[in-house]
Structure 1
Amino acid sequence: MSKLRTLMAGAAVAAVCVTTASAADIAIIGGKSDDAFFAKIAKGITDATLVVEAHGGTVNYLQLQTYDNIGGDAANLVRTAMSQNVDIIAVPNWVPDTQDEAIKAAMNAGIAVILYNAGGGEKAAELGAINYIGNEEYPAGFAGGKYFAEHGAKHVICVNTVPGSGNIEDRCRGLADGMAEAGVTAEQLPLPASSFGDPTAVAEAIKATLLGDDTIDGVFAISSADADSAYTAMQQAGKLDSVQLGSFDMNVAGLERIRDSEQLFAIDQQPWLQGFLAVTLADGYVNYGLAMATSPLLTGPGIVDLTNIDATLAGGEQGYR
């Protein structure tokens, strides 16, 4: 027994040494603090930070303050992370034309990069990033277009409140192609970037569009907040019975609408997983050389509708879905 205790004590000391010797300094860049979608990513980051701190490391979450200049501001946050001498940066590549230069500069300075949430696997391979974690936007939009068409929609508008953002443009393009495959139509409704986060402005724009075109029978929102605004617009326009609502992402209100048959579906990309995996994989890569054999590492898309609403709503009420 005494020999066993000695061996166990030695193993415990070794484990402590490994834990305290490893230390990854991680910077992760994300959206606005009042963005409901990024609140779920932030929850994943917070949970993953416990793992990093257990290994003696740190996580610095750098957030955009507005979405008025999303690509330029994200590039500047990459430069901020570089100035902090971090080991690795996890960043969405929302606007590649603006962000690629900063990401390449970080990698040239010896800082590893993981793309997450926006950018895709091909862009990660092009830049030499470790991996991409998240949704592939075009296929997700395509799936939404097919779902709309399968449920009778013939003319859908994709409400884009962040025009110029590559991932959102891909969502709307995928939607249009998915519907076109079935011989029906989708078109983009681009709104000023300043409308993002302004539910009244978004609702008024959708309402005016619906009232101006009776052929529209579907609205596709790019976020859960915009889906709330779209529902308000449909109510005010008297279109709840003639227009179907679909969205990327979801909140509890959206999930309750699906449960109550007031919203057709939502496309889930599991943002909590994106934040959690971006941080834990960054930690494992820096400390132990761990990397996933699968690239990209997809967290979506998944369709949430009446068939799986109960389990999803339970996760939404706890801030995970």
Structure 2
Amino acid sequence: MKKLLAAALGVCGLILTGAVAHAAERIVFVGHWSESDSFFNVIRNSAQLAATQMGVTVEFRNPPGGDLSQMARLIDQAIASKPNGIISTVPDEKIVDDPLSNAVASGIPVVIVNSGSADIARKIGALRYIGQAEYEAGKAAGEKAKAAGVKSFVCVNHFYQHPASHRRCQGFADALGVKLGAQDMDSGTDPNDIVARTAAFLKAHPDTQAILTLGPTGADPVIRWVKDQGAADKYFFATFDLSQAIVGAMKEGMIKVAVDQQPFIQGYGAVGILTDYVRFGVLQANDVYSGPGLITKNNLDQVLALAGKYR
């Protein structure tokens, strides 16, 4: 019995030792979203799910109110804390290029997600990029609008300072065959401002046929406003990403298409790539393009139950 007990305790010791080693692995995730951005919740949920399943710790850090000027400081703080890895978005290369390059130089593996590109990841020295091609995503939505006869639109741009946002609007414009100018409208992030500025644009441009929003931050208040105006059938409404409001409007036929960059893959995949690299020294061969995918009323039922959480 004493020998069996000793053996059992030895096995338990090995298990506990392995668990402690895994628990000590810490990843810092620096994103550009504000806390109120529902899109961020999907990436956060998926990253946390991966962390729980893989036995690592993920710390989420983002600038209050989405102020990009603070991202460099957050990355510097993450480096100083000496994590096992850093996941970061690249909403503006000028702001985060140097601090992320410094992280790589200090021996901290980095994965770029969501905003940025494979080229930027290689320049920084990051392991991999996970995200969608933004111009192609905007163009895919624009092609749907063109097929419906749309020739004019407004792009409700709630993250105007991010280069990726303009690539989305440009792709949509190019698909329609129109020049992009004032349609790329800085809506701000406050719901009241978004509605006021969108309403002002549509009043000044009464022939506008389509509304393109770049995510739930812009889509949710515009959906409510359009419904209040009794104009649910007036515009070809396209958007990026999903929320409960977007799903509801799509079920009603108000929103015609949503561009799904599958943020679950971004958060979950980034944690997986870093964990595999840190623990086992293995790295998949390619960057991951999580989108664009297009959601319409025809394939909506498949994502209904997970919208806002994992989709």
Query: TM (normalized to structure 2)?
Result: 0.89
Q: Is the 8 A contact 1:218 1:245 kept in 2?
A: yes
Q: Which residue of 2 aligns with 1:26?
A: 27
Indicate yes or no: 2:260 matched with 1:268: yes
| Matched letter for residue 44 of structure 1 | S
Query: 1:257 maps to which residue?
Result: 249
Which residue of structure 2 lines up, in the alignment, with residue 291 of structure 1?
283
1:80 aligns with 2:100: no
Asked whether the 8 Å contact 1:158–1:186 carries over to 2, the reply is: no
2:303 aligned with 1:301: no
CA distance in 2, matches of 1:305, 1:11: 53
Contact 2:223 2:249 in 1 (8 A): no
Query: Does residue 218 in structure 1 map to residue 218 in structure 2?
Result: no
Distance, in Å, in 2 between the alignment partners of 1:172 and 1:256 is 24
Q: Percent identity at matched positions?
A: 26
Q: Give 3-state SS (helix, strand or coil) of 1:66's partner.
A: helix
Taking a change above 3 Å as real, the CA distance of residues 140 and 12 of structure 1, as seen in their structure-2 partners, is farther
Contact 1:156 1:186 in 2 (8 A): no
1:26-175 matches, within 5 Å, as: 26-30=27-31, 31-52=33-54, 54=55, 57-67=56-66, 69-70=67-68, 72-175=69-172
* Superposed displacement of residue 135, structure 1: 1.5
Query: 1:229: Cα distance to partner?
Result: 2.0
Residue in structure 1 matching 2:185, options 187, 190, 194: 190
207-216 or 234-243, larger mean C-alpha shift = 234-243
What is the letter of the counterpart of residue 66 of structure 1?
A: G
2:194 aligns to what? 202
Q: Name the aligned partner's letter for residue 304 of structure 1.
A: I
Could you say what secondary structure the match of 1:219 adopts? strand
Residue 280 of structure 1 is aligned with which of 272, 275, 295? Answer: 272
Residues 150 and 185 (structure 1), Cα distance of their counterparts in 2 relative to 1, 3 Å cut: farther
Q: Distance in 1 between matches of 2:148 and 2:8?
A: 62
Asked if 1:176 corresponds to 2:204, the answer is no
SS at match of 1:27: strand
- Give the gaps of 5 or more residues in structure 1: 1-6
Q: For the structure 1 residues 253 and 83, does the alpha-carbon distance in structure 2 shift closer, same or farther, using more than 3 Å as the test? A: same
Deviation track 1:264-292 (CA, whole Å, cap 9, x = no partner) reads 11101122221111112211111111212
In structure 2, runs of 5+ residues without a counterpart are 1-6
Distance 2:195 2:119 in 1: 35
> How far apart in 2 are the matches of 1:12 and 1:215?
71
Q: Distance in 2 between matches of 1:59 and 1:80?
A: 15
Deviation at 1:92, TM superposition (A): 0.2
In structure 2, relative to structure 1, the CA distance for the partners of 1:8 and 1:177 (3 Å cut) is farther
CA distance, structure 2, for counterparts of residue 316 and residue 186 of structure 1: 31
113-122 vs 229-238, which moves further: 229-238
Separation (CA, whole Å) in 2 of partners of 1:96 and 1:299:
20
| In 1, Cα distance between equivalents of 2:207 and 2:170 | 20
Counterpart among 299, 302, 309 of residue 311 in structure 1: 302
| Cα pair 1:204 1:233 within 8 Å, conserved | no
Q: CA deviation at 1:16?
A: 6.0
The answer as to 2:203 corresponding to 1:228 is no
| Cα offset, 1:261, TM superposition | 0.6
Give 1:75 shift: 1.4
User: CA shift at 1:51, angstroms?
Assistant: 3.1
C-alpha separation in 1, matches of 2:124 and 2:176 = 32
**Which residue in 2 is equivalent to 1:240?**
232
Question: 2:8, 2:206 → 1: CA distance?
Answer: 74
Give the direction of change, closer, same or farther, for the CA distance of 1:8–1:308 in structure 2 (3 Å limit).
Answer: farther
Q: CA deviation at 1:9?
A: 11
SS at match of 1:241: coil
Across the two proteins, how many residue pairs are aligned to each other? 303
| Aligned amino acid, residue 189 of structure 1 | D
